[in-house]
Amino acid sequence: MTQHPVVVLDHVTRRFSAAPALDDITLSIDRGEIVGLIGRSGAGKSTLIRCLNGLDKPQAGRVLIDGQDITPLGENALQPVRRRIGMIFQHFNLLSAKTVADNVALPMKIAGRPAAKRRKRVLELLDMVGLADKADVWPSQLSGGQKQRVGIARALASDPLLLLSDEATSALDPETTQSILDLLAKVNRDLGLTVLMITHEIEVVRQIASRVIVLDRGRVVEEGPVARVMASPQADTTRSLLRGLSPTLPRDLAALLAPAGDQALVRLDVHGPDARRPLLDMIAQATGHPARLLHGGLNDVQGIPYGRLFIALGTANPQKVQAALAALTPHTTAIEVLGHVPRDV
Amino acid sequence: MSPAMFDLLLRGLKETLIMTGVSGLLSFLIGLPLALVLVTTDRGGIFEAVTLNRVLGLVVNGLRSVPFIILLVAVIPLTRLIVGSAIGIAAAIVPLTIAAAPYFARVAEVSLREVERPLIDAARAMGATRWTIVREVLIPEALPGIVSGFTVTLVTLVGASAMAGAVGAGGLGDIAIRYGYQRFETEVMVAVVAILVVLVCGMQWLGDRLARALDHH
Ligand SMILES: Nc1ncnc2c1ncn2[C@@H]1O[C@H](COP(=O)(O)OP(=O)(O)OP(=O)(O)O)[C@@H](O)[C@H]1O
Ligand SMILES: [Mg+2]
């Protein structure tokens, strides 16, 4: 089997008016990946995803789906390509005049599958998303989470190669979001489906994406494995999107910070196995003073620990502080002396 | 009420029902496709053809701006051409249809336009052909509104068919004018009005029920 990427964007530019919504974007997505696409409102996320199934067309560059360049294709020629791409939406976009079963069956009807086969597959799909008993109800009778499950079943009905998700969990409460994410992860695992998901909820990416792409004003400003990006974000946009997740110095401690004082306060970012080292002991050995964890903690991205710690070194002596920094630097992704705090903080 | 009068009213009712029913059916068959063309050929529509859309819009507006009583007379040559006569029920159906079809087209157009763009995009994203979008999305989603609009059209046709009495089409309106107004037979007038009220209320009730049954929002 040839292993070309499922999606390739090759110098894609899409502009509506003055500022481009997509500005010379180049990226690729491999088979079986779950890629998170994050960015502020207006960054161009929806435009990018719409370019992948030809709902929108770039003015420059190429979009390749499973090796096929879809940019020159007209509305009719795009139809077979679209039948291989499932899409789920923030507001579900279910047809109100069709029952749940008929909604799920629609992509198969479009693909020309006979009615008897459709019904069987619909029931399988509804069973998979946990709605086997809702086949013959109207979408308006379902909760938001149930509607999105129908949306997912519908998107999977044509056995797609690629699943596109535009803010699929943004209209749902945290618990329902969790169940939808679990479902997407299961679909990815069991069917080997490639998933591209747009979200502004970094938490969603943290849980199920393997790779993250950060978009800002139509440009890719950062890209990489989720664990790496979350532990040491390089772009300002990423850092500000992550801000909500990483701990910041509490107000009372921040108020105590001074250029000089009894002991230095350092902030360190840790990632991977280093995060589980006896960091406080290492500091104590380097300085000869007991170090204290004042704030922060560890989290994990898909089994890989990362975190941010605020540690008081127990001394303000410049040589000792330097020794502590020297001991820590090989094991941290970032380290910074924030200032000094009193001995009895 | 004399048996003769009863027969007269019954015949009038039958004529009104035929005029309304046939011109209603024709208006539906002409108006719905017209509405679909008006919606889908508009800018950003799935069959975008802006010039055609403008021209069609003008024709529809033109027809709708002619008062029915004038249309009734103005289309007499056309009516002769189509039904071979300018008098009678069949003759009345021509102007009634010409008046009601554009009216229904506009009413149906409003409902079709209310089908949200994201729903159409969802169908496009599934790889639906444009005809499939019309058949599976546009019409079913707009159906409750189309049914309500058709009910209004039918009710309007009942009223207009009374005017069609002027071209010798008969019907309840004709009876009301000839007996009730010209011969001062108030009793006939009252009976006609009562029948029309029941007829219109019945239609409206049925239309509302059907629209509600179809609406799964
Ligand atoms: N159809 C359109 N016509 C004109 N401008 C558009 C259109 N669609 C998007 N834009 C513009 O392109 C830019 C990117 O929009 P896009 O919808 O892709 O952003 P987004 O990242 O999905 O934002 P959000 O998180 O709010 O959904 C915005 O500046 C938007 O105003
Ligand atoms: Mg968007």
- Cα separation, A342 vs A263, in Å, equals 6
Mean pLDDT of B30-57: 96
* Higher per-residue pLDDT: A201 or B104: B104
Among the listed ranges A92-96, A220-224, A289-293, B166-170, which one has the minimum average pLDDT value? B166-170
Average pLDDT, chain A: 92
pLDDT digits (tens, 9 = 90+) for A104-118: 999 999 999 999 999
- Cα separation, A284 vs A280, in Å, equals 6
Tell me the chain A residues in contact with residue B125 when contact means C-beta distances shorter than 8 Å. 53, 55, 82, 85, 87
Residue pair B19/B164 in contact by the 8 Å Cβ criterion: yes
pLDDT digits (tens, 9 = 90+) for B45-77: 999 999 999 999 999 999 999 998 898 888 889
H/E element holding A268?
Answer: strand A263-271
The total number of structural domains that make up chain B: 1
Q: A294-302: long-range contacts at Cβ-Cβ below 8 A with a sequence spacing of 24 or more?
A: A294/A253, A294/A265, A294/A341, A294/A345, A295/A247, A295/A249, A295/A250, A295/A253, A296/A247, A296/A267, A297/A247, A298/A270, A299/A245, A301/A206, A301/A226, A301/A227, A301/A230, A301/A231, A302/A206, A302/A207, A302/A210, A302/A226, A302/A227
Question: Whose structure tokens read 């996320």?
Answer: A45
Closest-CA residue in chain B for A107? B126
Q: What is the radius of gyration, based on Cα positions, of chain A?
A: 25
How distant is the Cα of B6 from the closest Cα of chain A, in angstroms?
Answer: 45
Task: Count Cβ–Cβ pairs < 8 Å, chain A vs chain B.
Answer: 65
Among the listed ranges A55-69, A168-182, A213-227, which one has the minimum average pLDDT value? A168-182
A50: Cβ below 6 Å to ligand 1? no
What SS3 class is residue A8? strand
pLDDT digits (tens, 9 = 90+) for A291-338: 999 999 888 877 788 888 999 999 999 999 999 999 999 999 889 999
Strands A263-271 and A304-312: antiparallel
Compute the distance from residue A30 Cα to the ligand 1 centre, in Å: 26
Q: Could you say which ligand is closest to the alpha carbon of residue A55?
A: 1
A110 close contact with B: CB closer than 8 A: yes
Please, what is the end-to-end C-alpha distance for chain B in angstroms? 49
Ligand 1 mutation target, pool A14, A15, A22, A47, most atoms within 8 A of CB:
A47
What SS3 class is residue B112? helix
A304 close contact with B: CB closer than 8 A: no
A16: Cβ below 6 Å to ligand 1? yes
Would you state the structure tokens that stand for residue A100, as one six-digit string?
């749940």
- Cα separation, A196 vs A52, in Å, equals 10
pLDDT digits (tens, 9 = 90+) for A206-237: 889 999 999 999 999 999 999 888 877 889 99
pLDDT band per the 50, 70, 90 thresholds, residue A201: confident
Residue pair A195/A35 in contact by the 8 Å Cβ criterion: yes
Q: Whose CA is nearest to atom 22 of ligand 1?
A: A46
The CB-side HSE value for B148 (13 A sphere, CA atoms) comes to 15
Q: Could you say which ligand is closest to the alpha carbon of residue A40?
A: 1
Q: Give the domain CATH number at B175.
A: 1.10.3720.10
- Domain of B163, in residue numbers: 3-214
pLDDT digits (tens, 9 = 90+) for A116-151: 999 999 999 999 999 999 999 999 999 999 999 999
A39: Cβ below 6 Å to ligand 1? yes
Would you state the structure tokens that stand for residue A160, as one six-digit string?
């797609």
Would you state the structure tokens that stand for residue A277, as one six-digit string?
């080292």
